[in-house]
């Protein structure tokens, strides 16, 4: 049992969301998580289904697919250290509290065999209720948002939409590379910078 707890704790130390949590909180989390194994192409949760747990990836990759308007689908990839089911954090911290579980905003399917840990909604609620001072902290909220697949997908989609609107407004649907290379490179640089900023880079 001790080995199992140490193994879980070692893996959770690799999850950025938990880097700044107290040992007492980590111990409570480790006592309640369950190891999970998913096979290639297995769907963990479908868009619109109730989110019953948070899943923290230890090994493997997971694809997120989110429906947009006009039949478009936005996709992103979660890697070790990433997590899904972050809707539960907002659900747990919401006041007044609502019993109904939140719906998943995306479908998550395994690109390859994946190992993870799962934290059930009722256990997450217990932890956030007992350590609310930490989970209501703005720094943790921003860290959760940065590593959230939902937020990163939203950011990427908005960057793409902004670029398309810019192209249509200035040059029409097609821009010769020789004329727009400089502007396109700048927008791509801005997008890369936006997606690479980590919470501790701008919270101090």
Domain CATH number, residue 121: 2.60.120.10
Residue 119's pLDDT band (boundaries 50, 70, 90)? Answer: very high
Q: What is the pLDDT of residue 143?
A: 63
**Structural domain includes residue 106:** yes
- Whole-angstrom Cα distance, residue 52 to residue 87? 10
- Whole-angstrom Cα distance, residue 60 to residue 109? 11
Residues written for the chain: 204
**Structural domain includes residue 184:** no
Domain range holding 84? Answer: 2-147
Q: What percent of the chain has pLDDT over 70?
A: 61
Please give the tally of structural domains in the chain: 1
* Confidence (pTM): 0.70
Q: What is the pLDDT of residue 74?
A: 78
Query: Closest by alpha carbon to 156, among 143, 89, 164?
Result: 164
Residue 11's pLDDT band (boundaries 50, 70, 90)? Answer: low
- Whole-angstrom Cα distance, residue 144 to residue 138? 10
Q: What is the pLDDT of residue 179?
A: 40
Arithmetic mean of pLDDT over the chain:
76
What residues does 62 pair with on adjacent strands?
78, 110
**What are the structure tokens assigned to 159, written together?**
């960057």
Residue 203's pLDDT band (boundaries 50, 70, 90)? Answer: very low
**Structural domain includes residue 175:** no
**Structural domain includes residue 203:** no
Q: Which of 32-36, 114-118, 181-185 shows the lowest mean pLDDT across its residues?
A: 181-185
Q: What is the pLDDT of residue 113?
A: 97
**Structural domain includes residue 51:** yes
Query: Closest by alpha carbon to 11, among 113, 83, 117, 141?
Result: 117
Q: What is the pLDDT of residue 23?
A: 83
**Structural domain includes residue 12:** yes
13-54 tens-digit pLDDT: 667 677 777 888 888 988 999 999 999 999 999 999 999 999
Residue linked to tokens 């868009």: 47
Alpha-carbon torsion angle 46, 65, 85, 33, nearest 10? 80
Burial level of 20, CB count in 10 A (0-12/13-18/19+)? middle
**What are the structure tokens assigned to 61, written together?**
């990759």
Q: What are phi and psi of 203, to 5 degrees?
A: -100, -15
> What integer is the mean pLDDT of 107-126?
95
**Structural domain includes residue 102:** yes
60-115 tens-digit pLDDT: 999 998 887 777 787 888 988 888 998 898 888 888 888 999 999 899 999 999 99
């Amino acid at each position: 049992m001790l080995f199992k707890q140490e193994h879980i704790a070692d893996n959770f130390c690799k999850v950025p969301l938990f880097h700044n949590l107290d040992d007492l909180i980590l111990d409570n989390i480790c006592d309640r998580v369950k190891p999970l194994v998913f096979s290639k192409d297995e769907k963990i949760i479908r868009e619109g289904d109730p989110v019953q747990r948070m899943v923290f990836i230890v090994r493997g990759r997971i694809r997120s697919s989110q429906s947009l308007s006009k039949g478009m689908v936005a996709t992103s990839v979660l890697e070790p250290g990433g997590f899904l089911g972050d809707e539960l954090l907002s659900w747990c911290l919401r006041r007044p509290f609502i019993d109904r579980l939140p719906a998943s905003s995306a479908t998550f399917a395994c690109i390859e065999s994946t190992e993870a840990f799962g934290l059930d909604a009722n256990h997450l609620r217990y932890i956030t209720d007992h350590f609310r001072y930490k989970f209501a902290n703005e720094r943790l909220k921003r860290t959760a948002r940065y590593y959230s697949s939902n937020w990163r997908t939203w950011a990427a989609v908005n960057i793409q939409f902004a670029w398309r609107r810019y192209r249509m407004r200035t040059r029409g649907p097609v821009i010769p590379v020789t004329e727009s290379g400089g502007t396109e490179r700048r927008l791509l640089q801005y997008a890369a910078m936006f997606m690479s900023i980590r919470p501790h880079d701008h919270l101090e």
